[in-house]
Amino acid sequence: MKWQIKFLFALIFIFIIDQYIKLIFINGFRWDGSWLSLILVYNKGVAFSMFAFLEEYLKYLQLILLGIVGFYFYKEQLLFKYPILSGILFGAGISNVFDRFIREGVVDYVYYHGWFNFAVFNFADVMIDFSIGMLLLFHFWNNKSKIIE
């Protein structure tokens, strides 16, 4: 029962924080800097607006993908081993898919345009990257003796 509380707390916490930040930008906040801007962008695709041509179908494909990943995490006991990281991953993923159902697309707002132009992204994207990175780190750290042999 303890892992469920940790998982749900992380999921709900990340979802609420992400949606709150997005509302700030939807309500008109904007800031432009010389190399970083905070601007409202509705991303109709995924990273770098890929698959935007899928339009309405993309949100359903992402729901299916979240279900498959959830099943894999359950089957491989990753939910039990890493409930907080799993909660962060699913909270962020659900928040982005939620945007697709209630808004024009995923609300993105961080735009780096220093030495090069980068895709506009949001807090949920950072949390997805963070949780996957940490899960991979723990996986390889815990299996380093198997890799060496």
- Rounded distance, CA 53 to CA 40, Å? 21
Pick from 61, 121, 87: nearest CA to 5:
87
- Rounded distance, CA 36 to CA 30, Å? 11
For the stretch 72-93, pLDDT in tens is 999 999 999 999 999 999 999 9
For the stretch 23-66, pLDDT in tens is 999 999 999 999 999 999 998 866 655 555 566 767 898 899 99
Q: Could you tell me the two tokens for 55?
A: 């339009």
> Of these residues, 18, 99, 125, 129, which one is catalytic?
125
Q: Residue 108 catalytic?
A: yes
Instruction: Let me know: does 61 contact 54? Beta carbons within 8 Å.
Output: yes
Give the helix ranges, DSSP H, for 27-143.
Answer: 57-75, 78-81, 83-102, 123-142
Mean pLDDT of 114-135: 93
Domain holding 90, by residue range, is 2-148
> Of these residues, 18, 32, 99, 108, which one is catalytic?
108
Q: 3-state SS string over 76-101?
A: CCHHHHCHHHHHHHHHHHHHHHHHHH
Instruction: Let me know: does 18 contact 91? Beta carbons within 8 Å.
Output: yes
Report the predicted TM-score, pTM, of the whole model to 2 decimal places: 0.88
Q: How many domains does the chain have?
A: 1
